[in-house]
Amino acid sequence: MRVDLAAARKVWLQEAETDPGRVEREKSDFLKYKDYQGRFADFHANRHTFISNLSKANVAPKVTQSLARHSDIRITMGAYTHLDLADHTNAIDALPAPPKEPHLDQQDEKAPAVGVEQRAADGSPQPEVVPYTVPRGAHNGARQLPSKTPQAASDCSGEADLPSDECPEECEARNR
């Protein structure tokens, strides 16, 4: 690679149309094996460029790891993938716009005021309308406090009030 770079640089220098142009090119480290920062243009540098370009092309990390023939994704993504400010900017620009919701200080005209008892047309009380900022499924936004006596969830879903070291043996076996 070093020989190829030297030959390409020689041709590039000869292609300068004027003497000042050639002098400017000679000052440059374009097509040099080692640049002014001490970086080398060698096979290893090409691996870094190849892997970084795969990432910039949105190739899945597992595919990039496979093409790089790395046994550990941390090597591929941590040591060989290099990102710059443009990559960060493009990632942020790709995010969807925030949802358009009324400001919290403005009352939604369609929703009745929170805390005001609502009545149906026949006069029967209706459940209080919950603001849309409360998670779906919550009636009034309050959390149910855990029971005084901790109990393991019957389905071993991990939703028990017990620390994992107090989980019954059958739950431990299922969660392994």
Confirm whether 66 is domain-assigned. yes
Confirm whether 61 is domain-assigned. yes
Confirm whether 170 is domain-assigned. no
Confirm whether 121 is domain-assigned. no
Residue 62 structural domain: 42-94
Same domain, 47 and 85: yes
Tell me which of 59, 75, 94 is where a domain ends.
94
Q: What pLDDT, on the 0 to 100 scale, is given for residue 98?
A: 81
Task: Round to whole Å and give the CA distance between 37 and 158.
Answer: 54
Angle subtended at Cα 123 by Cα 122 and Cα 125, rounded to the nearest 5 degrees: 120
Residue with tokens 């993938």: 81
Task: Round to whole Å and give the CA distance between 42 and 35.
Answer: 12
- pLDDT tens figures, 132-172: 454 555 555 455 544 455 555 555 554 444 444 445 455 45
The tally of domains found in the chain comes to 2
Same domain, 54 and 28: no
